[in-house]
Structure 1
Amino acid sequence: MDLTLALLALAVVLVFAVVRPHGWPEAVVAVPAAAMLIATGVVSPREAADEVERLLPVVGFLAAILVLARLCDDEGLFRAAGVAMGRVSDGAPRRLLVMVFLIASATTAVLSLDATVVLLTPVVLATARALAVPVRPHVFATAHLANSASLLLPVSNLTNLLAFSAAGLSFVHFGAVMTLPTLAAVAVEFVVLRWLFARDLPAEPAPHPEPARDRVPVFVLVVLALTLAGFAVTSLLGHAPAWAALAGATVLGVRALARRDTTPARILADADIPFLAFVLCLGVVVDAVMRSGLDTVMRGVVPVGQSLPALLGVAAVAAVLAGLVNNLPAVLVLLPLVTPAGPAAVLAVLIGVNLGPNLTYVGSLANLLWRNVIRRDMHVGAVEFSRVGLCTVPPAIVAAVLALWLSVRVFGV
């Protein structure tokens, strides 16, 4: 009965997060669902509090990085990126796709996948329209790279922060081990997307007006570079990366407030408190599901060990689970099961839950945000989204796991 009730609560929370009727925040259902599971004894108040305490550093980082990304946007960082893409591509769709891949990968790695989806995607749309080139391949690239390029650093994705603590690696060591898998996944994405959208990517440049020049936001780039260095320093000192993100957000926030470019209320809104509450309550709901017996079921499904076949199996299970129930619940379910096998197995889970969301809209909340961002300009149905994902995800997972297997032997874990 406990497992049935917990699974029902999880299903309701996820469906509501996907549909979001009337634009209501995900917390509208997630908070009551977690409270109901505590009230009925499926999970005890002490267990729920322990889960919330475990997730607080992750949620704190998420709040800081959301504010940091929005302040970067206010300073013109993404507008400057759009101008750079237009100038370098010079109206050639293939060159524009290369630029989108480079900038989207860098944005995802440093500012997280949400920045790529919410802030960069509209810029890519506008740039493609201004250059009179087909929009579809370039916008699909932002959706896929928001997930695929998020393998690189612990700060690139919420799932990475959870895996980072479970793997027990330093910030630098994590980045070193995941560099080859990230490059492999992004390379596969580029080759497959270019093949799928070959008709939309002619070699000849389209006629277009000369793009306007825009200032380079040097101050913002310096703050981002220092923030990235701060991630590594805080890790070496045994502190959460949220402190570095908070420092970067504070510097830009104080500057914006002094120049009256923003307000305290807007900064608080950028932190998206309802979404943070959703993440915490989702963690409690998933914890209830695991404690009610799902962990026993999953142990019979997830391969054990750090051999290449085991890593491929772990990544495949993680990808399918993420595509079915969203990557955040998937990583919360799988990490306790694979952590005893070692860091390589944890990183294989990460490959699955970061690449697997490209299979379905429900795979990650970033996918749903992307759908909302592009809705006014183009329609991408669930079937088309999954069809493209079925072409990219399997080879990307195989390539990334092979690269992980090699990387583990080079850098050790």
Structure 2
Amino acid sequence: MNTSAAEALAAALLVVVLACAVVRPWGRPEAVVAVPAAGLLVGTGAITLDHARAEAVRLGPVAGFLAAVLVLAQLCDDEGLFRACGAWMARAATGRPYALLGWVFATASVITAVLSLDATVVLLTPVVFATAARLGARPKPHVYACTHLSNTASLLLPVSNLTNLLAFAASGLSFTRFASLMALPWAVTIGVEYVVLRRFFRTDLGAGAAGAGAAGTQAPQVPVFTLVTLVCTLGGFVITSALGVSPAWAAAAGALVLACRALAQRRTTAFAIARAAAVPFLAFVLALGIVVRAVIDNGLGPALAHLVPGGTGLPALLGVAALAAVLANVINNLPAVLVLLPLTTPSGAGAVLAVLLGVNIGPNLTYAGSLATLLWRRIVREHDTDVDLGEFTRLGLLTVPAALVLAVMALWAALHVIGG
């Protein structure tokens, strides 16, 4: 196949794969379209078998890590961790919607950082709905906080987001150095989100609460064993990184401990654990990587290379982050990071982390910016609530530019103080 035909086929299949991931026709998993698309590209020669195999090998450890974290998050939910968080937030808010928003921000930020954005979207959002209903508060501000923080609060740790795992592998940083460089951008971004959401939803928050408040909320039963396991797993991330071992082993160990306990107590099944690993989604990630690699090999890479600023000065970092944010909203954040990492890795860890800022903050601007936002919309609809496109976009326009610029400035400062 000639280059022009291969480029057209790869681009068309990428559009089809992303569209099906957004729409999910017939309710089928994303992999149903992505895997045949990757096979077609290999079969027609649009991507060589060696390049496809290399991409799968590169993404394999990332997919394994994601599977372990997803299982860990589901087992934490089975142990009652998220229900305890909901009861704790209700008691701490004492019937005040403004206070509840603050506690939702704190809880969602920590859960996103430690257990990944999927835990916040899939497991915490329903808890926030229930907590707001328990207090008689309007759910909209708190539910919006979940989707925004599932993206922006995932900046802190390599384990917080699939995009982080990819950037972490490309950056050459240790687990602790990655976290130390991203700590200030993470805090700044969350601060911007809180200030804007508090102002944007002032009418909903000012309506007060009609529920029982703290008086009608039982003291939360904290699953101590689960929390201890999580703390040990986080410690394992640091230790394995220092030893040059994949942190996936630490995640797998934490998941194994909780899985064995839950199986012994007959509170879960092997099938439920396997389902939590989201194997179809992992297949989608691997197939999408091959499709994106085909697009890069057939022209997108050289075309974007002219747009990527060189160096790690503040203007260059701002340019890289802005390009990443735009690309995330055009083709989704996961393909965007796959496209941009090979182009920015030669400039060093600073440029790689700037890409991460763009693909994690930028998706709050549109529905299609990240798969997490699409999943959040489905969950919101399941609770008989709909999201207004205009409102979502207006909120994104108020948060994304300010958060992105300030986060890049914070990263630039961290790079100069800590070093990349």
Same fold (TM over 0.5): yes
Contact residue 185 and residue 408 of structure 2 kept, 8 A: yes
Please show how residues 350-369 of structure 1 align to structure 2 within 5 Å: 350-369=356-375
User: Could you say which residue in structure 2 is the equivalent of 1:306?
Assistant: 312
* 1:231 corresponds to: 237
Matched, 1:176 2:180: yes
Tell me, yes or no, if the aligned pair for 2:85 and 2:220 is still in contact at 8 Å: no
Amino acid at match of 2:405: V
- Kept in 1, the 8 Å contact 2:34–2:288? The answer is yes
Q: Deviations over 1:197-221 (max 9, x none)?
A: 1111128654425112331100000
- Give secondary structure in 2 for the equivalent of 1:155: helix
What TM-score comes out, normalization by structure 2 length?
0.97
Partner of 1:50: 54
Q: Which residue of 1 aligns with 2:405?
A: 398
What is the Cα deviation at residue 305 of structure 1? Answer: 1.3
In the TM superposition, what are the counterparts of 1:170-249 in structure 2 within 5 Å?
A: 170-202=174-206, 206-208=210-212, 210-249=216-255
3-state SS, counterpart of residue 375 of structure 1: helix
**Deviation readout 1:116-142 (Å, 9 max, x if unpaired):** 000000000100011011111000000
CA apart distance, 1:171 = 0.1
Unaligned regions of 5+ residues in structure 2, if any? none
Partner SS for 1:301: coil
Moved more, 25-34 or 209-218: 209-218
Mapped to 1, the partners of 2:83 and 2:90 lie a distance apart of 11
Q: 1:343 aligns with which of 349, 370, 389?
A: 349
CA distance in 1, matches of 2:220, 2:241: 36
Q: 1:251 matched to which residue of 2?
A: 257
Shift of 1:267: 0.6
| 1:76 paired to 2:86 | no
Q: How does 1:316-327 map to 2 (within 5 A)?
A: 316-327=322-333
Structure 2 counterparts to residues 80-119 of structure 1, below 5 A = 80-119=84-123
Q: Which runs of 4+ in 1 moved over 4 A?
A: 203-207
User: Which residue identity does 1:106 align to in structure 2?
Assistant: V
Amino acid at match of 2:47: V
In structure 2, distance between residues paired with 1:241 and 1:381: 39
1:398 aligns to what SS in structure 2? Answer: helix
Match of 1:389 among 382, 396, 401: 396
Q: Which amino acid is 2:355 matched to?
A: V
1:264 equivalent in structure 2: 270
Partner residue, 2:387 = 380
Q: Which stretch shows the higher mean deviation, 328-337 or 210-219?
A: 210-219
Q: Please say if residues 90 and 205 of structure 1, whose CA atoms lie closer than 8 Å, have aligned partners that are also in contact.
A: no
User: Structure 1 residue 23: deviation in Å?
Assistant: 1.2
Aligned length: 413
Q: Does 1:8 align with 2:15?
A: no
Q: What pairs with 1:54-69 in structure 2 (closer than 5 Å)? A: 54-69=58-73
Matched residue type, 1:114: D
- Name the amino acid aligned to 1:66: L
Q: Which residue of structure 1 lines up, in the alignment, with residue 165 of structure 2?
A: 161
Cα pair 2:133 2:211 within 8 Å, conserved: no
| Matched residue, 1:274 | 280
Distance 1:213 1:22 in 2: 43
The unaligned stretches of length 5 or more in structure 1 are none
How far apart are the structure 2 equivalents of 1:187 and 1:394? Answer: 14
Contact 2:365 2:393 in 1 (8 A): yes
